[in-house]
Amino acid sequence: MSTTSPAAAGTAGYGYADLPGLISLMTGDSKHDAAAESTLDVLWVLYDRVLRVSPGTAGDDARDRFLLSKGHGPMAYYAVLAAKGFLDPAELPGYGGFASPLGQHPDRSLVPGVEISSGSLGHGLPLATGTALGLRARGLTAARVFVLIGDGELDEGSNHEAIAFARAARLDALHVVVVDNSSSTHGWPGGIETRFAAEGWSALRVPGRDHAALEAALTAPHPGRPHAVAAVIGPGE
Amino acid sequence: METMRERFTSVTTELLAADPRLALVLADITADAFAPARRRYPDRVLNLGIREQLLVSVAGGLALAGMRPIAHTIASFAVERPFEQIKLDLGHQGAGAVLVSVGGSYDYSESGRTHQAPGDVALLDTLPGWTVHVPGHPDEAERQIRAAAAADGLVYIRLSSRSTMVPLEREPGRFSVLRLGTAGTVIAVGPLADEVVAATLGLDVTVLYAATARPFDGATVRDTLRTPDVVLVEPYLAGTSSAEVARALPGIRHRVLGLGVGRTELRRYGTPAEHERAHGLDAASLRASITGFLHV
C-alpha cells in the first residue's frame, strides 16, 4: 500500500499517500478503526502545513503545541507522527501490546512528540487553555496551541468552562479543531461552531477532508480571540 | 491572630514578585485578597470564575508550558469536585502543581456538608506522588508554601481556620517529638495538636506532631516506639493514616486507633468547636479515647 520506499523513512520521507500503509502496520490490514480515520486529514494538514514543530524542535519552548484530546482511535495520529519522523515506524506493528509505547490512548511519557496523555474526554481543551496561558505568561507569544476534539467530546461540561474563559482571557494563541462526524448523541443544532461563536470566538466551518480548506481555516487570522474550526465529515465516517 | 489564609495571601503575593515562573490560579475564592497581585501580574494571577475543573486543568497546562502553578479554592471544590482532573491533568501528565485548600473538614461548619471535605487526604492517598501538608500554624503554612513554590512536584497544602497557639514543627517534613513516654504513641496532625497536648497531660505516652502527613514520617514513629500501640488524631476522616502506621511498623505486632472526623454526616451547623466535640476531637473526648485504648 505504501507508495514510498520504507528506506525513505525520516523527517520528510513519507507523504499523505503513505498514511494508510502506516496505519495498516498497526491494524495488520484488518478493518481500520473509524475514529482513527475521522481525524486523518486534519492531523495531516496540521503536521504538514500548519504546525511549527519538528522532531528537532519538539523540546523547544517556542514550538507550536498540538494536543490530541480525542485520544481514542489514535492510529492516524501515530501514523502522522511516524510519517513526520517523531516516531520510528518500526514501533507501529507493536500497537496496543504490553511492551509497546503505542496504546489505544496516547501517553506523553511514552511517545516522542505527544504533548498530552489523553483518553478521558474533556481534558484536552482545558489543558490547552492552561498551556496557552503559560506561554503568554512566559512571553512566548509566537507559539500557538492547537487542540483536536470530537463533536461527541464537546458533550463534556469541562470544555464549556474553558470555552467561556478563553474568550474572556482573549486567548488568541488557542486553536480548537472539532472533528465533527455527528457522533454526539444529542447533537449541536445550528452547527457546532456556533457554540464557540456565541462565546465570542472566531469560528469557521469547513469540509473535514479538504486539505486546502482546512489549511486556510486553521491559519485564518483571529486577532484578540481564540479560534475554532469545525471540520465536518460524514456521520460515523 | 493572623489566619493561615491571610498568610497564604501575603506570602504568595511576595513570591509572585520574586519568581516569574510562579502563577496563581483562582476560582473566585480569595480573589478579592489577591486583587492587588492580579493587577500587578495579570498574566500570572488568573481568576477563572466559578470553574473548578478548569482550575486544575489550567494548572496542569501552565506546568506543561514551564510555569509553577498554585491553584487555590475551598477543599471540597479543590479536591473532590475536580478529582479526575487531579488524577489526569496533573498526575498522569507528569505536571507538577501546588494545590492550596481552605476550609477542610469543618471550618465552614455553618455551611454544612457541601462545604466540607473530610475525605480530601484519603482521596489524594489513592494517587501517587503527592506531598500533603497539614499545617497547624500560619508559620508552618508559610514555610510549606515557600518550599512548594520553589519545588517541582505535586504538593497539597491544607489550610485551616483552626490553628495551634505556637508552631510545633521543628524540622520540615519530620514529626516533632512533643513528649516521650512508654505506654504508647499519640500522633497529632496539624491544628488538633493543642487539643492532643491538653488531652495527654500527665499521661505516660509519647506525643508526636505532624505538620506534613505525606510522606508519613514512619522513621520517627519507629525510633520513638516503646509500647506498639498508636493513636492517630487527624483533622480529617478518621483512620486516614492507619495504613501508613502499618507500613511504618513492618513485622511489628501493633494496635492502631484512628481518631478524626466521623464518616457519618452530622447534618448540624453551629461552630467548628461544636463540630470538633461532635467528632470526639476536643481535649476531654480525646483523653477518654486515648486512656481507654492505651490503658493509661
Do B153 and B180 reside in the same domain of the chain? Answer: no
Instruction: Tell me the chain B residues in contact with residue A124 when contact means C-beta distances shorter than 8 Å.
Output: none
Residue B232 DSSP SS3: strand
Closest residue, chain B, to A170 (C-alpha): B43
What average pLDDT does the segment A158-168 reach? 98
- Residues A16-67: tens digit of each pLDDT: 999 999 999 998 865 555 445 799 999 999 999 999 999 999 999 999 999 9
Q: Is B71 within 8 Å of chain A by CB?
A: no
Q: Is A130 within 8 Å of chain B by CB?
A: yes
pLDDT band at A5 (very low <50, low <70, confident <90, very high): very low
Do B192 and B280 reside in the same domain of the chain? Answer: yes
Do B154 and B180 reside in the same domain of the chain? Answer: no
Residue-averaged pLDDT of chain B: 98
pLDDT band at A13 (very low <50, low <70, confident <90, very high): confident
Cross-chain residue pair A137–B58, CB shorter than 8 Å: no
Do B29 and B85 reside in the same domain of the chain? Answer: yes
Closest residue, chain B, to A136 (C-alpha): B43
What average pLDDT does the segment A181-190 reach? 95
Q: Is A16 within 8 Å of chain B by CB?
A: no
pLDDT of residue A209: 96
Q: Which of residues 8-47 of B touch A (CB under 8 A)?
A: 23, 43-44, 46
Do B152 and B184 reside in the same domain of the chain? Answer: no
pLDDT of residue A10: 45
User: Is beta strand B130-133 parallel, antiparallel or unpaired with respect to B212-214?
Assistant: antiparallel
- B61 within domain boundaries: yes
Cross-chain residue pair A134–B53, CB shorter than 8 Å: no
Min Cα separation B42/chain A (Å): 9
- B166 within domain boundaries: no
- B242 within domain boundaries: yes
pLDDT of residue A36: 54
Q: CA B104 to CA B111: how far, in whole Å?
A: 12
Cross-chain residue pair B46–A133, CB shorter than 8 Å: yes
Instruction: Tell me the chain A residues in contact with residue B60 when contact means C-beta distances shorter than 8 Å.
Output: 127, 130
Do B102 and B190 reside in the same domain of the chain? Answer: no
Q: Which CATH number belongs to the domain containing residue B10 in this structure?
A: 3.40.50.970
- Residues B210-230: tens digit of each pLDDT: 999 999 999 999 999 999 999
User: Which of B130, B158, B186 finishes a domain?
Assistant: B158
- List the single residue in A117, A127, A135 with the smallest CB-CB distance to B57: A127
Instruction: Tell me the chain A residues in contact with residue B89 when contact means C-beta distances shorter than 8 Å.
Output: 123, 126-127
User: Which of B100, B132, B158 finishes a domain?
Assistant: B158
CATH T-level topology, domain A6-232: Rossmann fold (3.40.50)
Residue A76 has pLDDT above 50, yes or no: yes
Do B143 and B180 reside in the same domain of the chain? Answer: no
- B169 within domain boundaries: no
Q: Is A108 within 8 Å of chain B by CB?
A: yes
CB B225 within 8 A of CB B250: no
What average pLDDT does the segment B12-26 reach? 98
Q: Which CATH number belongs to the domain containing residue B271 in this structure?
A: 3.40.50.920
pLDDT of residue A29: 66
Residue-averaged pLDDT of chain A: 92
Report how many helices (DSSP H) and strands (DSSP E) chain A contains, helices first.
Answer: 8, 5
Do B136 and B275 reside in the same domain of the chain? Answer: no
CB A45 within 8 A of CB A215: yes
Do B27 and B100 reside in the same domain of the chain? Answer: yes
- Residues B99-108: tens digit of each pLDDT: 999 999 999 9
Buried/exposed A25-53: b ≥16 CB within 10 Å, e otherwise? bbbeeeebbebbbbbbbbbbbbbbebbeb
Residue A2 has pLDDT above 70, yes or no: no
Instruction: Tell me the chain A residues in contact with residue B85 when contact means C-beta distances shorter than 8 Å.
Output: 123, 126, 158
Q: Say how many domains are in chain B.
A: 2
**C-alpha cell at position B143:** 514555610
- B51 within domain boundaries: yes
Do B188 and B124 reside in the same domain of the chain? Answer: no
Question: From the centroid of its chain, how far is CA A11?
Answer: 19
Q: Which residues, including other chains, have CB under 8 Å from residue B74's CB and lie 6 or more apart?
A: B29, B101, B102, B103, B108, B115, B117
pLDDT of residue B195: 98
Domain range spanning residue B58?
4-158
- List the single residue in B44, B58, B65 with the smallest CB-CB distance to A126: B58
Do B96 and B66 reside in the same domain of the chain? Answer: yes
User: Which of B158, B188, B204 finishes a domain?
Assistant: B158
Q: What number of other Cβ atoms are within 10 A of residue B17's Cβ? A: 12
pLDDT band at A72 (very low <50, low <70, confident <90, very high): confident
Q: Which residues, including other chains, have CB under 8 Å from residue B212's CB and lie 6 or more apart?
A: B131, B132, B133, B134, B144, B169, B172, B173, B174
Do B93 and B239 reside in the same domain of the chain? Answer: no
Cross-chain residue pair A169–B46, CB shorter than 8 Å: yes
Q: Is A33 within 8 Å of chain B by CB?
A: no
pLDDT of residue B50: 98
Sign, CA torsion A93/A98/A101/A105: positive
Q: What is the pTM of this model?
A: 0.95
- B171 within domain boundaries: no
- Residues B47-88: tens digit of each pLDDT: 999 999 999 999 999 999 999 999 999 999 999 999 999 999
What average pLDDT does the segment B112-124 reach? 97
- List the single residue in A108, A136, A162 with the smallest CB-CB distance to B43: A136
- B187 within domain boundaries: yes
CB A109 within 8 A of CB B94: yes
Q: Helix, strand, coil % (nearest 5) of chain A?
A: 40, 10, 50
Q: Percent of chain A scored above 90 by pLDDT?
A: 86
Q: CA A205 to CA A230: how far, in whole Å?
A: 5
Residue B29 has pLDDT above 60, yes or no: yes
Residue A183 has pLDDT above 50, yes or no: yes
Q: Percent of chain B scored above 70 by pLDDT?
A: 100
pLDDT band at A236 (very low <50, low <70, confident <90, very high): low
User: Across the strands, what pairs with A148?
Assistant: A68, A177
Residue B287 has pLDDT above 60, yes or no: yes
**C-alpha cell at position B21:** 515562573
Residue A12 has pLDDT above 80, yes or no: no
